[in-house]
Chain A
Amino acid sequence: MPALLFYLFALITLGFGLMVVLARNPVTSALSLAMSFVGLAALFISLDAFFIGTIQILVYAGAVMVLFLFIIMLLDIKAESDRMTNVAAIVGAIVLGSVLAVQIATVSAAHHQSDLSVNDAALNLVAAGNQMAATKTDLPTISKDLKAGILPDTKLMGLALFQQYGFHLQVMGLLLMVGTVGVVVLSKRDKEVAR
């Protein structure tokens, strides 16, 4: 990916992220967060993570942000008024944020692979395809793609999820079910209290 596009999408991600924190109106914050997630999805895709980039848009920018907007509009939340601004919290936030940012920049600059570029860490698809075709558990649909020089990202992701992390995936299913039941229980109106 050209450097210009990286800077463009990093700017979209961080600029709209700043808007989330600064905007007075919650609807502005929510829409800025959706844009920030779109920029982040583009950064994922620039790292050859096509599947993760796609679900970032589908799940975050789609489902999660619609839920946020729905709740904001359902509760009819008004913009915060200026008179209640807490100066101590804002100063604390700026200090905490900048200390953390400087810390992260220092650590990542000192990391031994920090100057590794995408070209240095080049993917070797054909070799990976040949290696996979030689094994007993070869999946022709993946190794053919790899030999043709295409990265079958979603297929490899499925391979990792269902071969290596099958149990974890089932735990995730259980978690989603518990979440669903929890939401129903939480939003059920308590009849005893209402009476």
Chain B
Amino acid sequence: MITLSHYLIVSGLLFALGLAGVVARRNIIIIYMCLEMMLSAANLTLVAFSRFHVLAGLPDYSAQALVFFTITVAAAEVAVGLAIIVALYRSKQSVEVESVTKLQG
């Protein structure tokens, strides 16, 4: 039987994978993809809690509205972030994190 904790553990593993990717990879675009993965993992948690918190016979739609907003923000964030990456590539000719050290002390 699939329980709430099954969904939470899948979501937690997906988040951990995304976090590991952000720390280990050096390509900014892949770091960005891992960030998207972490956002989606949080969405899975919200949807799972929404389904298991039954309000008057229906799932809790407040949580799903929050997921809707998260997806919107993520889409806007990707557009702006990729524009920044393109601008960065124009000035550095690279998308490796090591190439951006101007703020390093």
Contacts and interface: CB of A to CB of B under 8 A. Distances in A.
Where chain A touches its partner, the secondary structure class is helix
A116 interface: yes
A84 interface: yes
A111 B25 CA distance: 33
Contact of B21 (A10, A21, A30, A59): A21
Contacts, number: 257
- Which range holds the interface residue count of chain B? 35 or more
Interface of B: 1-27, 29-30, 32-34, 36-37, 40, 43-44, 47-48, 50-54, 56-59, 61-62, 64-65, 67-69, 71-80, 82-87, 89, 95
B50 A77 contact: no
B99 to A, nearest CB: 12
- Which range holds the interface residue count of chain A? 35 or more
Contacts of A161: 65, 68
6 contacts: A43-B7, A44-B47, A47-B50, A75-B95, A165-B65, A187-B83
A14 B4 contact: no
A105 interface: yes
A137 interface: no
